[in-house]
Amino acid sequence: MKAAAVYPDKKSLGVVADFPEPKIGAPAQIKFRVLNVGVCGTDREIASFVYGTPPEGSDYLVIGHECLGEVVEAGAEAGSIKPGDLVIPMVRRPCHHPECVACQVGRSDFCYTGDYRERGIMKMHGFMTELVVDEARYMNVVPAAIREVGVLVEPLTIAEKALIQTLNVQQRLPWGRTKYRHRAVVLGAGPVGLLGAMALAVRDFDVTVYSRDREPNSSADIVKAIGGRYISSQDRTIEQMAGDVGSIDLIYEATGASQLAFDVLRVLGTNGIFILTGVPGRHGPIQFDTDTIMRNLVLKNQCVLGTVNAGKDAFEQAVTDLAAFYARWPRAVKGLITGRFPLEEFAQPIHNQTGIKNIIEI
Ligand code: BGC
Ligand code: ZN
């Protein structure tokens, strides 16, 4: 079989021609045919050799963790999953330390030890290949109606996990007891930002996306199609943007730019929550007005929350939500996928990021 791989030692990318075809080795496993794999910033980091670790004994890592597959074979103990089902595999696998209470209870997205593995990222091959065997319990079945856009489920789980936690934290407030529409600002108009904006819009938040590019651009069109407001940082300063929006209840950061994030933290409203999802590169230190930030955090009851990866609950909610987005805004959701490449050309969208979401079609 073919597989798209990164060779960290040789610092190169290549298609493995004879990647061994996997076989079901335990009754709780399933085998699926890979249909689509999304390319994201994490893949780009792995392909620039700053992140990512091959499985033990391998000199390469098969990449790809945003996957949509079709089940071709199911073991006797694979539960209700059957051939023909469309599935989204989860990315992270638990560590094996008995003291890690998170991994012990199936919440490796909250792993304490850092010894988890991630398919296509950390010590496990990923999904940019033809056939995959995995355990049925990590699969999430998606309805055939969202086949075309199903590959967006995994990037959407980032927002879903963030929202599950946000609604928990904000139980501290009298939210949801009045007709007041909460105001959300999304930083960044890439796939994570736009999917986050959709997740907020279906929950009836007043959504503003603040991003660099001026209009017209296709991300701004998508924001408007879902009823949101688009503001370019080239036209409006952070303070002006905050003035346009009004008191900001929630900021969802999806850029990975730490300077921008902490600058925008200044304008978070009273009782607001600031969610960080981006992973910045390590640049030099920068200066911040920490007195203002700390005064606001305390005097305005604010909360800052970082979040990574996602559990089963977020995957299930992402499947439900993506179907809802697709029913409500079919063109906008389809418009998120802007490039399709064959496996042989997987390096192209990695080296040359254009459009919104690029995918590999197997
Ligand atoms: C993936 C997460 C993963 C994270 C860090 C992201 O791109 O979506 O599942 O935990 O990278 O490796
Ligand atoms: Zn753990």
Q: What is the pLDDT of residues 252-274, one digit of tens each?
A: 999 999 999 999 999 999 999 99
Ligand 1 mean position, distance from CA 298 (Å): 31
Q: Return the residue whose CA atom lies nearest to atom 10 of ligand 1.
A: 309
State the pLDDT confidence band at 180, using cuts at 50, 70 and 90.
confident
What the block records as the tokens of 324 is 């809802």
| Per-residue model confidence (pLDDT) at position 329 | 98
Q: What is the pLDDT of residues 194-252, one digit of tens each?
A: 999 999 999 999 999 999 999 999 999 999 999 999 999 999 999 999 999 999 999 99
Lateral strand order in the sheet of 92-93: 92-93, 117-119, 123-124
29 lines ligand 1 (CB under 6 A): no
User: pTM, whole model, 2 decimals?
Assistant: 0.97
Q: Find residue 361's DSSP bridge partners.
A: 36, 342
103 lines ligand 1 (CB under 6 A): no
Nearest to 265 by CA among 224, 235, 295: 295
Ligand 1 mean position, distance from CA 42 (Å): 7
Query: What's the rounded mean pLDDT across residues 107-119?
Result: 98
What the block records as the tokens of 86 is 């469309």
Nearest to 252 by CA among 297, 211, 310: 211
153 lines ligand 1 (CB under 6 A): no
Could you give the CA distance from residue 17 to residue 97 in angstroms, rounded to a whole number?
A: 36
Q: Find residue 340's DSSP bridge partners.
A: 359
First vs last Cα of the chain: how many Å apart? 11
* 3-state SS assignment for residue 231: strand
Q: Return the residue whose CA atom lies nearest to atom 12 of ligand 1.
A: 121
Nearest to 52 by CA among 40, 66, 41, 63: 63
293 lines ligand 1 (CB under 6 A): no
Average pLDDT, the chain: 97
Atom of ligand 1 nearest to the CA of 109: 10
| Per-residue model confidence (pLDDT) at position 176 | 67
